[in-house]
Structure 1
């Protein structure tokens, strides 16, 4: 492990520290979300796996930090935090915008890459977005669309003062996700597992399955009932599949420095 950048620990929340874990599962959140969305997973993972939930700028205890404005700097800073804080071997999981961050970070590439990336509810980078953009809508319409997408809790949307605080972070995240595109994307240098919701209209099954074309080191795909937020609607199903991925990862030959 390197000395790393000052404050790199603020990127990760360890709900159930397991310093002797054989494997670490690093989970990046969807747009507008924080590390807290993964907290319930910690006790449901295998006993030899430690959960590290990613906390992005502009939320939770990083609320005073400016939300990320561009992919290169966000991926660079996230990569530096991984190098400093995450021991190998590890898996990188991301849902929706979190999966975009996983891709941007891994293709740069990392000095110590993950054993595998787990990409959930996210179109491949060469596939156009399925829905119209909302990040430039006026506040009332923007908040209404957030409610329709079901990613922001209704009680949060109904709190004007809270929404005034959160709006810059939400817009920044949504803008990053909606403008993310690579017409000629680089392939991933590690194996890929993709998860898609059978009724997801944000990242339709075919758009998520298109990751196969960017996975020369191996691809597995899993269909899960539900819409875009199947990670909440069908958490038990998703965690069962992640458990299987952990078991398979521990049985496969160990990767070393990207080889």
Structure 2
């Protein structure tokens, strides 16, 4: 149900962190979506469009991408998580859930723990296209890898718009710049800590070639809220074809997740 409420008198530069900004009517739940390596927040608008009837899909816009193209991207995940924690905590969202694909899955996990520690509850975490949080994807390689190595690895995942990258030198340069920065985020990925209170839903593609040695059961070890897993048709970017089913899973999970009180102590 969409409520005619806004995040209050949010000012300053918070808007740039969220695609579409903050000055809009909100439903009961805001699903903050964190990008994959080299990806843009806007992808989620197409992938999860079917969820918008009941939740707000709010892509998180990181520096160095799309509307923030000329800002230096983050290369250290703990620093990014600390920045995001402050931004999300001040944004005035009604009820927060997190969705992250690939690199974004670990970023979502780290952000959830940091938000809970700061007193901001998270209703649910959806992790996609990734094994357990401490596992590094097979495509992770040194930041000094050649352009060809990076592009070959990207192509092997079935990345959307891959052919366009090969044809458009300007687009290729922009994506490679972000991917090289994101490799730093991947290499400084999972931050160990206590289990989170939020339930976790794990989603992966059945034909994802990067998942051969994944142990997705590790996600269950980092939450006190319960963990469920779904394996859907498709490769690493199964979301392109399975967005409607993913949206159904999201709506169902959020419907049964009780929103914790804002003064709840996340350590209990």
TM-score class, shorter: 0.7 to 0.9
Q: CA deviation at 1:243?
A: 1.8
Query: What's the TM-score once normalised by structure 2's chain length?
Result: 0.83
1:127 aligns with 2:135: yes
Q: Which residue of 1 aligns with 2:57?
A: 51
Measure the CA separation in 1 of the matches of 2:147 and 2:177.
Answer: 11
Q: CA deviation at 1:234?
A: 1.7
1:88 aligns with 2:100: no
Q: CA deviation at 1:168?
A: 1.8
Q: Which residue of 1 aligns with 2:3?
A: none
Which of residues 192, 196, 203 in structure 1 aligns to 2:200? 192
Distance 1:19 1:77, change over 3 A: same
Give aligned pairs, total.
256
Measure the CA separation in 1 of the matches of 2:14 and 2:21.
Answer: 17
Highest RCO, 1 vs 2 (Cα 8 Å, sep ≥ 6): 2
Measure the CA separation in 2 of the matches of 1:236 and 1:180.
Answer: 29
- Of residues 161-170 and 49-58 in structure 1, the stretch that sits farther from structure 2 once superposed is 161-170
1:172 aligns with 2:181: yes
- Secondary structure at 1:196's aligned position in 2? strand
Please, which runs of 5 or more residues in structure 2 have no aligned partner? 1-6
Please, which runs of 5 or more residues in structure 1 have no aligned partner? none
Query: What's the TM-score once normalised by structure 1's chain length?
Result: 0.86
Measure the CA separation in 2 of the matches of 1:123 and 1:207.
Answer: 6
Measure the CA separation in 2 of the matches of 1:142 and 1:112.
Answer: 37
1:24 aligns with 2:30: yes
CA offsets per residue over residues 125-177 of structure 1, 9 Å max, x none?
33354456264311223222222223252112321233223322111113322
Q: Which residue of 2 aligns with 1:150?
A: 158
